[in-house]
A and B are shown apart, each in its own frame.
Chain A
């Protein structure tokens, strides 16, 4: 899996804007992808998932897009709110494995 360096990528947005958080993965055999949100002082929390037979999946204010050709995953958050401020992780699994590989987190900062 990927390693996380000392400095997390940071996305800074204004309240009400739409946010897009990106994630690249390397394993072409990955067939299941998950986005997690980790607020300060808490454990990661599941947001949304998508299987490799889909390109897009929508939840409440969130949309995940999967581009298998370039091995790219994105999380879109509509009308971003201060409560969305957190670190967001993507994770991938392949072939029925129970062990996900977590990607590098992205810190989202929402300014009121």
Chain B
């Protein structure tokens, strides 16, 4: 199994641009999580999907952030418009019950 796959691994963009992060969870896992990690705030849960349905999006910072899961094998996290304070590492994780498997993350830099 290739594990959780995220793309791109690195993204550098300018303030105001739209950013789309992608995630392919492990096949058979029915839960998917998007996290953001910064030195200041640590690991923050942004949104959680179960069976492709958003269950908890209370961690999404503001309306500029949106996430979708059109099918069991793909999810996106979109930031529009992006701001410098969005710079962070964004992780996708999937699980079938207890253990979460994390992807390698996308390092986002907004200039």
Spell out A's residues near B (CB within 8 Å).
3-6, 32, 34, 41-46, 49, 89, 93, 98-100, 102, 104-105
Contacts and interface: CB of A to CB of B under 8 A. Distances in A.
Given A42-B105, A43-B104, A34 B99 contact: yes
Contacts of A105: 42-43
Contacts of B39: 6
A73 to B, nearest CB: 15
B109 to A, nearest CB: 15
**Is the interface on chain B under 10, 10 to 19, 20 to 34, or 35 or more residues?**
20 to 34
Interface stretch (B12-20, B77-85, B90-98): B90-98
Contacts of B105: 42-43
Given A43-B105, A98-B48, A4 B43 contact: yes
